[in-house]
Amino acid sequence: MKKPELLVTPISTDDILPLAIAGADAFVVGEQRYGLRLAGEFSRAEVKEAIELAHSQGKKVYVAVNAIFHNDKVAELDDYIKFVAEANADAIIFGDPAVLMAAREVAPNLKLHWSTETTGTNWYTCNYWGKKGSKRAVLAREINMDAIVETKENAEVEIEVQVHGMSCMFQSKRSLLGNYYEYQGKAMEIENRSVGKNMFLHDKERSNKYPIFEDENGTHIMSPNDMCIIDELQEMIEAGVDSFKIDGILKSPEYIIAVTAAYREAIDLFVENPDKYEDKKDELLSAIEEIQPENRKLDTGFFFKETVY
């Protein structure tokens, strides 16, 4: 039984070595000009440093080039992708076909991971992008366990699944979404708007707080809870899912390191002895619950319920 890759999103280059020690196998880095919803901003120099640090530990680095590109940015893709290839990144993450076309021209040997966060819902689509050159497909966060297993059984490419962290519920290229809600007199209101990393849409009726942040790519509204299935990994490991992702967006380095170590232990336990995993998984879940922020409850996302769009 093979071990799935444990993929983590560092906040800065300072996190690479601690996360590698904690058990991460690979990292997602990039800059918001080219990548969506990154845990941290990495300049070109920092991308190169992250790759060098990760490779020194035998780990991989994938650079996010999965933004939604308009005409004004397409001309920049050749230069950025060429830089990523020359920096020896292990792959780029993309959603826009413009990225694929640019990569074919300037870095034909660079590995491609297809990810749109929303449309990876079936194995036909995954294989379509595989035929276009992608080596991996990142599945949507909104599909359940049965669909994930079925997709992996029929996929001709690697399959990546997010197992921990928040997910995006809404994105708009527009900014000042909070002003719009306030102007309309809606029930939702913006809290802590002056602090970009601690801004929420507060839905008093449902007692939910949705993290919201704005960057170069617009406004992003995130899920009110964090998914966590550290105690439900067995089906995907048995199915051969290739990569488990921990998304550390809007989390502290200490939190990401602790969660990474917990998932590392869970994966290793199941692969080496499923009975030991069964005995330990509740304890691992409890350990994460203890460090979970008070306003961020844990749930199982869409893994065990019908998809809702």
The two beta strands, 208-215 and 200-203, are: antiparallel
Quote the pLDDT of residue 302: 86
- Concatenating the DSSP letter of every residue in 190-207 gives EESTTSTTS-EEEETTTT
- If pLDDT is split at 50, 70 and 90, which confidence band does 44 have? very high
Tell me the C-alpha distance between 83 and 89, whole Å. Answer: 9
Task: Judge if 234 and 93 occupy the same domain.
Answer: yes
Whether residue 69 is found in the same domain as residue 122: yes
Asked if pLDDT for residue 97 goes beyond 80, the answer is yes
Give the percent of the chain with pLDDT over 70: 84
pLDDT range class, residue 187, cuts 50, 70, 90: very low
**Where would I find the beta strands (DSSP E) of the chain?**
5-8, 26-29, 60-64, 91-94, 112-114, 136-138, 158-165, 168-172, 189-191, 200-203, 208-215, 218-222, 226-228, 243-246, 298-299
205 phi/psi in degrees, rounded to 5: -60, -40
- The answer to whether position 265 is within a domain reads yes
Residue 145 pLDDT > 80, yes or no? yes
Give, to the nearest 10 degrees, the angle between helix 123-132 and helix 145-154.
40
Helix (H, G, I), strand (E, B) or coil at 64: strand
- Write down the pLDDT at residue 223: 73
Same domain, 189 and 102: no
Per-residue pLDDT band for 294 (boundaries 50, 70, 90) equals confident
Walk across the sheet containing 168-172 and list its strands: 168-172, 218-222, 208-215, 200-203, 189-191
CATH number of the domain enclosing 104? 3.20.20.70
Q: Report if residue 305 sits inside a domain.
A: no
Residues 242, 160 contacting (CB under 8 angstroms):
yes
Same domain? 264 vs 127: yes
Q: 264 Cβ partners below 8 Å, 6+ apart?
A: 6, 22, 23, 24
pLDDT of residue 98: 96
Residue percentage of the chain with pLDDT more than 90: 70
**Could you tell me the residue range of the domain that residue 156 belongs to?**
5-167+225-299
Q: Is the pTM of this model over 0.85?
A: yes
125 and 204 within one domain: no
Q: Which residue has the higher pLDDT, 295 or 107?
A: 107
Residue 219: what pLDDT?
A: 73
pLDDT at residue number 175 = 60
Mean pLDDT value across the chain: 89
Distance CA(217)–CA(102), nearest Å, equals: 20
Question: pLDDT tens digits for 235-268?
Answer: 999 999 999 999 998 899 999 999 999 999 999 9
Within a domain: 304? no
CA distance 22 to 258: 8
Give the Cα separation of 272 and 263 in Å (integer): 14
Q: Tell me the mean pLDDT in the region 64-86.
A: 95
Please indicate, yes or no, if residue 308 is contained in any of the structural domains.
Answer: no
- 89 vs 84: CA distance, rounded Å: 6
pLDDT-derived band at 4, boundaries 50, 70, 90? very high
Q: Are residues 39 and 143 in the same domain?
A: yes
pLDDT value for 178: 52
pLDDT of residue 107: 98
Instruction: Report pLDDT for 173.
Output: 67
Q: Summarize the confidence of residues 301-308 as an average pLDDT.
A: 73
- 158 with 196, same domain: the answer is no
- pLDDT above 70: residue 176: no
Asked, for residue 309, whether it belongs to a domain, the answer is no
Give the chain's domain count: 2
pLDDT tens per residue across span 273-289: 999 999 999 999 999 99
User: What burial letters (b/e) apply to 112-148, b meaning 16+ CB within 10 Å?
Assistant: bbbbbbeebbbbebbbebbeeebebbbbbbbbbbebb
